[in-house]
Amino acid sequence: MKVLIVDDEVIIRTGLSTVINWEDSGFTVLEPAASAEEALLRIPTERPEIIFTDIQMTGKSGLEMAHEVKKEYPDTEMIIISGYDEFAYAQQALREGVSDYLLKTSRPDEIIGAALRAKERFEQRRYEGEQGRANETVVNRSFLRKMITSSSHSNEQTITELWNRYPNLRVIKGKQLLQAWIISTQIEELGDTGKAEALYGTLGEMLTELLPCEWLPWNESVLLLVRVDAENNGWDAVEWAVQKAGQVLNCQIFAACGRSIESAHQLREAVDTAVQANSYAWLLSHEKIVRYEELGERKGLRVVCTLEEEVTLSSLLRAGSTDGLQVEIRNIIERIKQDGQATPSSVQAYLNSLLIAGHRWLERAASSIGYSNLLTNGEEVDKVELAKRPEQTLMHHYESMMKQYGLMVSGISPVQRAVAYIHDHLDQSLSLSQVAKHVHMNPNYFSEVFKRETGQNYIEFVTQAKMRKAMSLLSETPAKISEVANQIGYEDIKHFNRLFKKFTGQTPSEYRGKS
């Protein structure tokens, strides 16, 4: 805490500043001032919290200085240290806001004691002021949050109260606009909710120093309401402030702006559109700043994965290829980000279809080996995590599927493993020798054991498995008949048609028409 000594007698001001051990009591003594005029010039810059001053000095008196100081800086502690022990002086000092009155004959411990009492009063006032401001901030933010989230339209009384609480948000129609921004940052590395909240608090306070705005904590981000000039929609000023904050805090910031509004009646719309723009945080993370108006033309990408994608994923899952899955998912993510029509809702639907494809593969694999235990669908997909961290979320669920598959096939007989292998490779021309090699058996012996356990010879079993797969593809997908044939390992369409009709009594076209 800084102390300023003001006295026109050099021996007094030098003695007070050097003889007393101020530092041990937590004080920093500024260069003493030789007059009230000098002190008044220095106070705005040096801002001492405690001032010791004489009364009678050349020029302005200490009491006159005290009057001016308390007028401009009411929290400053003024202490008179005078050679006059007169009641009239003490009375006038109290009227001017002086908090203590000492004589120049006072002992050093008495002077330090007065300084410590002044320090305690100053800190108590500061604490009470901070508490009052904090309470006021809580009340104001509660009002603002309720106003934003309320489903009913704001009435004139509510808007008047808004302006009273936040005068810097008041707009002049035709000249100014209000904008809602949602600002977030990469904080995963903090790993601590308290640190994240502190970072967003610092970010919010920093922006209020740079812009005419107010902020609220908002779902692990900052909701910023800012008044901007209507002429250029205010984007330049806000973008500059956001970039400046990111540089100072040394972190990556993503800012999403809602629709600009002319009236507080539209405040809910401004926030809702900012939320929609912010939903693009992952999809457009490379942009850093996104505006709602620029996103309206997007129509969305396809919401269901293709048959080819499902086959690729099934193959990787079956092989237990974690590295291969990561590469495939990264390629998918990159394609999504490069799609100029992608929207958060369509991306989420598409990613969910990839997970559904994985579960379908697991169910088919269980059916192919006669696995009778109930399959779990795994953890429920967290939509928020899927939107924010799609790569990690997809891998987490796929690894769970691979683990289930591993449990299913462990401990089953060689023939059951062969059956699973056949079903997983129906798109190929599977020879008996190839399958026997997979389960480490002699082809002749495998043929005998296979017929004994399945009741069918190898060729009959594979053909029927392929036909059932074809029936499923014809009824569940829009794939062309030639594509269906290729998916089960037949390049000759006529041959496929003959086998299909022999198995079902219908041609592929007839079967699809009745499905």
3-class state of residue 101 by DSSP: strand
- The full DSSP string for 370-394 is T--SPPP--SPP-HHHHHH-HHHHH
Q: Model confidence over 97-153: pLDDT tens digits?
A: 888 888 888 899 999 999 999 999 999 988 888 787 778 878 888 888 888 887 666
Whole-number percent of the chain with pLDDT over 90: 42
- In the chain, the number of structural domains is 4
Which of these three, 294, 320, 345, is where a domain ends? 294
User: For the domain that residue 492 is a member of, what is the CATH number?
Assistant: 1.10.10.60
Look at residue 183 in the predicted model and tell me its pLDDT: 92
Q: Is 494 a residue whose pLDDT tops 90?
A: yes
76 and 36 within one domain: yes
Look at residue 135 in the predicted model and tell me its pLDDT: 82
316 and 254 within one domain: no
pTM for the model? 0.60
* pLDDT band per the 50, 70, 90 thresholds, residue 28: very high
* pLDDT band per the 50, 70, 90 thresholds, residue 295: confident
User: Which of 514, 510, 508, 500 lies closest to 479 in space, CA to CA?
Assistant: 508
Determine the Cα–Cα distance for residues 402 and 398; give it in Å rounded to an integer: 6
287 and 214 within one domain: yes
428 and 504 within one domain: yes
Q: Is 375 a residue whose pLDDT tops 60?
A: no
Q: Model confidence over 388-423: pLDDT tens digits?
A: 889 999 999 999 999 888 877 776 788 888 888 888
Residue 339, in any domain of the structure: yes
Determine the Cα–Cα distance for residues 184 and 488; give it in Å rounded to an integer: 49
Q: Is 26 a residue whose pLDDT tops 60?
A: yes
Q: Which domain holds residue 399?
A: 307-409
Cβ atoms of residues 78 and 53 within 8 Å: yes
Determine the Cα–Cα distance for residues 466 and 241; give it in Å rounded to an integer: 63
313 and 244 within one domain: no
Residue 91, in any domain of the structure: yes
Determine the Cα–Cα distance for residues 281 and 347; give it in Å rounded to an integer: 13
- Residue 348 burial (10 A CB sphere; 0-12, 13-18, 19+): middle
Report in angstroms the alpha-carbon separations of 389 from 89, 283, 322, 351, 468.
72, 10, 18, 11, 37
Look at residue 392 in the predicted model and tell me its pLDDT: 92
Residue 299, in any domain of the structure: no
Q: Is 168 a residue whose pLDDT tops 90?
A: no
Determine the Cα–Cα distance for residues 63 and 36; give it in Å rounded to an integer: 9
Most confident of 106-110, 184-188, 292-296: 106-110
Which of these three, 377, 409, 441, is where a domain ends? 409
Indicate the average pLDDT of the chain.
87
User: Which of 157, 419, 380 lies closest to 264 in space, CA to CA?
Assistant: 157
User: For the domain that residue 40 is a member of, what is the CATH number?
Assistant: 3.40.50.2300
* pLDDT band per the 50, 70, 90 thresholds, residue 505: very high
Lowest mean per-residue pLDDT among 188-192, 327-331, 502-506: 188-192
Lowest mean per-residue pLDDT among 334-343, 364-373, 392-401, 405-414: 364-373
Joined together, the tokens standing for residue 90 give: 């003490």
109 and 11 within one domain: yes
Look at residue 186 in the predicted model and tell me its pLDDT: 64
Q: Is 192 a residue whose pLDDT tops 70?
A: no
Task: Read off the pLDDT of each residue in 65-82 and give the average, rounded to a whole number.
Answer: 92
User: For the domain that residue 269 is a member of, what is the CATH number?
Assistant: 3.30.70.270
Per the model's pLDDT, the better-predicted residue between 73 and 82 turns out to be 73
Look at residue 346 in the predicted model and tell me its pLDDT: 94
Indicate the residue type of 406: G
Which of these three, 240, 273, 294, is where a domain ends? 294
Task: Read off the pLDDT of each residue in 60-84 and give the average, rounded to a whole number.
Answer: 91
Look at residue 72 in the predicted model and tell me its pLDDT: 92
The 3 state secondary structure assigned to 173-219 is: CCCEEEEEEEEEECCHHHCCHHHHHHHHHHHHHHHHHHCCEEEEECC
190 and 252 within one domain: yes
454 and 401 within one domain: no
Which one-letter DSSP state was computed for residue 288?
S
Residue 241, in any domain of the structure: yes
Look at residue 363 in the predicted model and tell me its pLDDT: 85
Determine the Cα–Cα distance for residues 37 and 23; give it in Å rounded to an integer: 27
Cβ atoms of residues 184 and 278 within 8 Å: yes
Task: Read off the pLDDT of each residue in 143-170 and give the average, rounded to a whole number.
Answer: 81
Cβ atoms of residues 285 and 391 within 8 Å: no
Question: 94: Cβ–Cβ under 8 A, 6 or more apart, which residues?
Answer: none
Look at residue 376 in the predicted model and tell me its pLDDT: 59
Residue 212, in any domain of the structure: yes
Task: Read off the pLDDT of each residue in 81-106 and give the average, rounded to a whole number.
Answer: 80
267 and 311 within one domain: no
Task: Read off the pLDDT of each residue in 313-321 and give the average, rounded to a whole number.
Answer: 86
* pLDDT band per the 50, 70, 90 thresholds, residue 49: very high
Please say whether the dihedral angle defined by the alpha carbons of residues 6, 8, 12 and 13, taken in this order, is positive or negative: positive
Q: Model confidence over 233-277: pLDDT tens digits?
A: 556 788 889 889 888 988 888 999 999 998 888 888 999 999 999
115 and 200 within one domain: no
* pLDDT band per the 50, 70, 90 thresholds, residue 347: very high
Indicate the residue type of 408: M
Residues recorded for the chain: 515
Residue the block writes with tokens 């030098």: 14
- The full DSSP string for 430-481 is --HHHHHHHTT--HHHHHHHHHHHHSS-HHHHHHHHHHHHHHHHHHH----H
Residue 269, in any domain of the structure: yes
Lowest mean per-residue pLDDT among 83-97, 110-124, 173-187: 83-97
Look at residue 273 in the predicted model and tell me its pLDDT: 93
265 and 362 within one domain: no
Report in angstroms the alpha-carbon separations of 112 from 18, 34, 99.
13, 21, 14
Report in angstroms the alpha-carbon separations of 500 from 100, 224, 475, 491, 510.
106, 64, 14, 14, 11
Q: What are phi and psi of 177, to 5 degrees?
A: -135, 160
Residue 143, in any domain of the structure: no
Q: Which strands make up the sheet holding 176-185, listed edge to edge?
A: 213-217, 222-229, 176-185, 253-257, 289-291
Q: Is 38 a residue whose pLDDT tops 90?
A: yes
Look at residue 465 in the predicted model and tell me its pLDDT: 92
115 and 7 within one domain: yes
Cβ atoms of residues 52 and 79 within 8 Å: yes
Residue 422, in any domain of the structure: yes
